[in-house]
Amino acid sequence: MIVHKFLEAARVSARQAGEMLKRHQTDVREITFKGSVDLVTNFDKQAQNQIVEFLSTQFPHHDILAEEELSLEKGSEYLWVIDPLDGTTNFAHGFPVFCVSIALMKDGEILLGVVFDPTRDEMFQAVKGAGASLNGEAIVVSSTEELDKSLLATGFPYDIRTSTRNNLDHFADFAVRAQAVRRCGSAAVDLCYVACGRFDGFWELKLAPWDVAAGVLIVMEAGGRVSDFSGNPMDIFGEEIVATNSYIHGEMIDVLTI
């Protein structure tokens, strides 16, 4: 099937970029700022160029949307959504939580997603309707049924210094309702950890499509649920995401809508 050709291309390009990032993790970096706390390194751009060149060679007529100011529109029904380095701040500081995230959409629906964590050599992937896996082994979400026994994850938007909608209120609410909350710095990794049961739930706001496209499908194909803060179907071009093992979804929505 043609989807397997797409999946293999995503896997190869994610691994190549991820391994390059791992090799250069301790190198001196050129760091620029897109905002007060939103930074980008020369390796974000190098990884993106590498992925885009590979996918464009394989599928020259496909559209591409990538984080570092790249949008190639060719009128295709297929759209690659790429985050060449999710967790840039971690990477820039030598904190080993970052990944490469690649998704392919067809006619507005996510067809497949791949997230590669090079520091742990973990390749998460999913194809719509075919389940999710980690390094070739099927994964499923956790079976935790209560919020107060749950380990959650979240992050904070890059305008945290200037916007009152900065997630600090939700963080405080969940800190006293859940067993614990973690903030790892990579939404794609957080979503994959929900998918494989390491986290029971995740919420965040003001994320971009490339942050979540692959991870959303991986969670859903692992048996989880994804929505906005009101419990409605999640739009990857929207600003709200809640991803859970399904069991605690209602309780998380209740907290988010207090």
This prediction has a pTM of 0.94
Q: Is the pLDDT of residue 28 over 60?
A: no
Nearest-angstrom CA–CA distance, 68 and 56 = 16
Q: Give the confidence band of 29 by pLDDT, cuts at 50, 70, 90.
A: low
Q: Give the confidence band of 83 by pLDDT, cuts at 50, 70, 90.
A: very high
Q: Does residue 161 share a domain with residue 59?
A: no
- From 121, 138, 155, the end of a domain falls on 138
Owner of token pair 């710095």? 185
- From 72, 107, 138, the end of a domain falls on 138
Q: Is the pLDDT of residue 67 over 90?
A: no
H-helix segments, 113-183 = 168-175
Strand ranges across the sheet with 109-117: 70-72, 63-66, 78-86, 99-106, 109-117, 122-127, 132-134, 137-138
Q: Does residue 98 share a domain with residue 203?
A: no
pLDDT for position 223: 98
3-state helix, strand, coil in the chain (%, to 5): 35, 30, 40
pLDDT for position 88: 92
- The CATH number covering residue 34 comes to 3.30.540.10
Q: Is the pLDDT of residue 92 over 70?
A: yes
Q: Does residue 119 share a domain with residue 164?
A: no
Q: Does residue 151 share a domain with residue 120?
A: no
What is the phi/psi pair of residue 238, to 5°?
A: -90, -170
Residue-wise pLDDT for 184-243, tens only, equals 999 999 999 999 999 999 999 999 999 999 999 999 999 999 999 999 999 999 999 999
Q: Does residue 184 share a domain with residue 241?
A: yes
Q: Does residue 132 share a domain with residue 7?
A: yes
The residue with greater pLDDT, 221 or 67, is: 221
Q: Does residue 9 share a domain with residue 133?
A: yes
Mean pLDDT of 4-20: 97
Number of domains making up the chain: 2
Q: Does residue 117 share a domain with residue 151?
A: no
Q: Is the pLDDT of residue 36 over 70?
A: no
Nearest-angstrom CA–CA distance, 109 and 132 = 17
Averaged pLDDT score across all residues of the chain: 94
Q: Give the confidence band of 129 by pLDDT, cuts at 50, 70, 90.
A: very high
Q: Does residue 131 share a domain with residue 16?
A: yes
User: Containing domain of residue 111, as a range?
Assistant: 2-138
Nearest-angstrom CA–CA distance, 57 and 108 = 22
Nearest-angstrom CA–CA distance, 211 and 220 = 16
pLDDT for position 157: 85
pLDDT for position 165: 87
Q: Does residue 130 share a domain with residue 161?
A: no
Q: Give the confidence band of 163 by pLDDT, cuts at 50, 70, 90.
A: confident
Nearest-angstrom CA–CA distance, 11 and 9 = 5
Q: Is the pLDDT of residue 37 over 60?
A: no
User: Cα torsion for 214, 219, 222, 227, to the nearest 10°?
Assistant: -130
Mean pLDDT of 13-35: 82
Percent of the chain past pLDDT 70, that is, above it, reads 95
Owner of token pair 């999946």? 7
Q: Does residue 40 share a domain with residue 131?
A: yes
Least confident of 23-32, 68-77, 166-175: 23-32
- The CATH number covering residue 163 comes to 3.40.190.80
- From 94, 118, 138, the end of a domain falls on 138
Q: Does residue 237 share a domain with residue 151?
A: yes
